[in-house]
């Protein structure tokens, strides 16, 4: 790869807890945040004043201003792994479709044509790649030399996926969710109870989100709830509101945080949903592998729910036996879809989390 006269950047796609490499590669982007306050440089005062993070301001300036079309970007994960190498295309953009990437608001966007994507990430010696800021210039060395050695045809047109539309990620209200569930056969009484409870759950979720961000004490913040607390105050009440009864729910059952059963007795053969909970603010989608390990032991288990109490990723077993992300729900920001993940939003998530989901699907397949 010709690096002469070009600026080479390294850009992080997550950390040891949260990995959004696939989002970057599938959408032809690299992402940075926080970006909820709006396009650069509108949020400069918020980054410096509210969060007291002048270092982050420099990071965003590099991403939004210093990067140029034609620059080379090395996608990194941690300090050892490089999943992809690409070329920056066009100017800086702001896109609200990336407003919730497993809990991070990453609306700052640069388009990238990925020239090299490994079947497995390229692994280097520990700390061959600099740790720290999301966007940094890559220093000459082992990684630089490897990038220069890549055999890629830069004249060959490379696919640049269509950028997700912000119109497909709009916020929605309770009335629309209610109509959606009713149209798909959920009983009116169940919907009425859900609509009564969801408002309270949303207020609790927003309080947790607001209060646990005040200050900078991280997991030790006095208002940051434990995993057990969010399960008790958010996860179980939401599942109850969706129609699951105590008889068909088991908390901390055979290493599963919450097990949901198609029928009684509460035995392994009857388990239909695995719920894996993480502490508030941790990456919930990263829990899919752990949840899959439990589900694969039960033939009748077709759904996984991974959550930190505020956010819920719903995975459904596909024809190939793998679990694919079907829908994503954020109690503090109800949206009709998540084009960055190519999955449904709050409506699809609540339907797929309900005990009626399997019967509704079977009825639809049968033409009922």
Q: CATH code at 69? A: 3.10.590.10
The span from the CA of 197 to the CA of 189, in Å, is 13
Last residue of a domain, one of 132, 164, 196: 164
By residue range, what is the domain housing residue 45?
8-164
- Cα–Cα distance for residue pair 266/183, rounded to 1 Å: 31
Q: What is the pLDDT of residue 135?
A: 97
The pLDDT of residue 41: 85
Contacts of range 264-271, beta carbons closer than 8 Å, 24 or more positions apart: 268/297, 268/298, 269/298, 269/299, 269/300, 270/300, 271/298, 271/300, 271/301
Distance (Å, rounded) from C-alpha 18 to C-alpha 1?
A: 30
Query: Does residue 95 sit in the same domain as residue 225?
Result: no
What DSSP assignment string belongs to 265-301?
A: S--GGGEEEEEEE--TTS-SGGGHHHHHHHHTT-TT-
In a shared domain, residues 80 and 120: yes
Asked if 343 and 247 sit in the same domain, the reply is yes
Domain membership flag for residue 143 = yes
Distance CA 206, CA 199 (A): 11
Instruction: Report the C-alpha dihedral over residues 122, 123, 129, 133, rounded to 10 degrees.
Output: 70
Same domain, 325 and 258: yes
**Residue 113 falls inside a structural domain:** yes
How many C-beta atoms surround the C-beta of residue 244 within 10 A?
20
What is the number of other CB atoms lying within 10 angstroms of the CB of residue 1? 18
d(CA 366, CA 368): 6
User: Any idea what the CATH number is for the domain that residue 338 is in?
Assistant: 3.90.1570.30
pLDDT at 286: 87
Using CA atoms, how far apart are residues 137 and 7, in angstroms rounded to an integer? 7
Q: How many residues does the chain have?
A: 368
Query: 142 with 188, same domain?
Result: no
Query: CB count, 10 Å around CB of 241?
Result: 21
How crowded is residue 180: how many other Cβ atoms within 10 Å of its Cβ? 18
C-alpha to C-alpha distance for 135 and 359, rounded to whole angstroms = 48
pTM: 0.88
Residue 2 belongs to a domain? no
Domain-embedded: residue 80: yes
Of 109, 134, 164, the domain-final residue: 164
Q: Specify the DSSP element, H or E, that contains 349.
A: helix 346-353
Residues 99, 189, single domain; the answer is: no
User: Regarding beta strands 303-307 and 271-277, do their DSSP bridges make them parallel or antiparallel, or are they unpaired?
Assistant: parallel
Per residue of the chain (368 residues), give pLDDT as tens.
888 889 999 999 987 778 899 999 999 999 999 898 899 987 666 665 555 567 888 999 999 999 999 999 999 998 899 999 999 999 999 999 999 999 899 999 999 999 999 999 999 998 888 888 999 999 999 999 999 999 876 555 567 888 887 666 788 999 999 999 999 989 899 999 999 999 999 999 999 988 876 544 445 566 678 899 999 999 999 999 999 999 999 999 999 999 999 999 999 999 999 999 999 888 899 899 999 999 998 888 999 999 999 999 999 999 999 999 999 999 998 999 998 899 999 999 999 999 989 888 876 556 55
* 272 and 353 Cβ atoms separated by less than 8 Å: no
Contacting residues for 278 by C-beta, under 8 A, at least 6 apart: 227, 284, 286, 287, 306, 307, 308
Residue 1 falls inside a structural domain: no
Distance CA 166, CA 340 (A): 10
Same domain, residue pair 184 and 118: no
Last residue of a domain, one of 164, 196, 219: 164
Overall number of domains in the chain: 2
Q: Are 36 and 105 in contact (CB under 8 A)?
A: yes
């Amino acid at each position: 790869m010709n690096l002469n006269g070009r600026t080479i950047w390294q850009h992080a796609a997550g950390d040891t807890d949260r990995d959004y490499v696939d989002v970057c590669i599938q959408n032809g982007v690299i992402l940075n945040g926080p970006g909820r306050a709006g396009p650069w440089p509108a949020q400069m005062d918020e980054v410096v004043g509210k969060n007291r993070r002048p270092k982050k301001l420099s990071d965003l300036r590099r991403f939004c201003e210093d990067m140029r079309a034609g620059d080379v970007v090395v996608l990194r994960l941690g300090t050892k792994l490089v999943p992809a190498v690409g070329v920056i295309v066009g100017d800086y953009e702001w896109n609200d479709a990336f407003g919730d990437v497993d809990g991070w608001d990453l609306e700052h966007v640069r388009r990238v044509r990925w020239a090299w994507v490994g079947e497995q990430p390229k692994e280097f010696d520990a700390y061959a790649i600099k740790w720290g800021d999301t966007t940094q210039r890559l220093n000459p060395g082992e990684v630089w030399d490897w990038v220069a050695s890549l055999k890629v045809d830069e004249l060959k047109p490379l696919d640049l996926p269509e950028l997700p539309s912000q119109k497909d990620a709009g916020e929605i209200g309770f009335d629309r969710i209610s109509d959606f569930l009713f149209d798909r056969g959920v009983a009116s009484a169940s919907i009425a109870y859900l609509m009564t409870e969801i408002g309270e759950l949303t207020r609790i979720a927003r309080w947790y989100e607001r209060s646990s961000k005040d200050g900078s004490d991280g997991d030790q913040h006095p208002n940051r709830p434990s995993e057990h607390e969010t399960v008790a105050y958010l996860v179980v009440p939401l599942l109850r509101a969706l129609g699951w009864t105590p008889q068909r729910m088991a908390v901390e059952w055979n290493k599963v945080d919450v097990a949901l059963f198609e029928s009684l007795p509460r035995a392994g053969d009857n388990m239909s949903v695995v719920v894996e909970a993480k502490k508030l603010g941790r990456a919930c989608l990263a829990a899919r592998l752990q949840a899959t390990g439990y589900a694969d032991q039960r033939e009748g288990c077709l759904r996984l729910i991974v959550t930190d109490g505020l956010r819920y990723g719903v995975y459904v077993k596909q024809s190939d036996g793998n679990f694919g992300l079907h829908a994503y729900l954020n109690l503090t920001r109800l949206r009709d879809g998540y084009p960055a993940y190519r999955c449904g939003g709050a409506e699809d998530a609540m339907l797929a989390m309900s005990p009626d989901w399997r019967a509704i699907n079977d009825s639809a397949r049968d033409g009922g």
